[in-house]
Structure 1
């Protein structure tokens, strides 16, 4: 059976990182954007990371420019923006597509495991997927769901 931990993703510098390195830890995987109305959610994501990281939670941010081109072209600008403006210390990865023919395999898997209300496609930036310690996708949250509202679900997988 395939789990999230079977995937390899790209770091901002283009090198591969196996999600197997997070095996045994719950994950909150988010497609992010630096120039979006939901961008202030970085604050809430960082708060969750700080509050629950010692209990195992990892928040993984994947910049995406598929929704009105709301991400910087240069990944270094993205990571600097997140660190300087929101104090982001959780891992950020290379920019990905989450829908379409070039969708990152991880996001294709996440969407297959947890469809949205109307379809499996991701509708906008800051869609969040909660993954348990075994690598199973247990919940999907809409972009409008504030990170703080996810806390009860996070506590269940801790």
Structure 2
């Protein structure tokens, strides 16, 4: 399975914030730390806020932080949310896609089982289990 870059970046943000759940970091700080486009990361952060994974605080001392404890958020929950717009194969699209193999396809059910096994495995770990240590002196406020 291959995750979209959007999901990869979302997981990085969550793992970085899980290292110190009480801290507020800015999107710019995280973008610099991981060498990710600030504008792209802003879209990822906004999506995670809409999904209830992150919260924002505006103004001096503001930034982003986890909306829930890192122990209560599974990797599977985050990946399911971020990947919902990215179908594994054409026939998994919400509109059914344009697969000419249907209804005789023998692959779809097998891929569905593989995807569910993938998510089941991710459900066994939390963001806290994968916290990324923030020992990065180049980031300072």
What's the TM-score, normalizing by structure 2? 0.29
| Larger relative contact order, structure 1 or 2 (CA cutoff 8 Å, min sep 6) | 2
Structure with bigger gyration radius: 2
Report which of the two has the higher share of strand. 1
Report which of the two has the higher share of helix. 2
What's the TM-score, normalizing by structure 1? 0.27
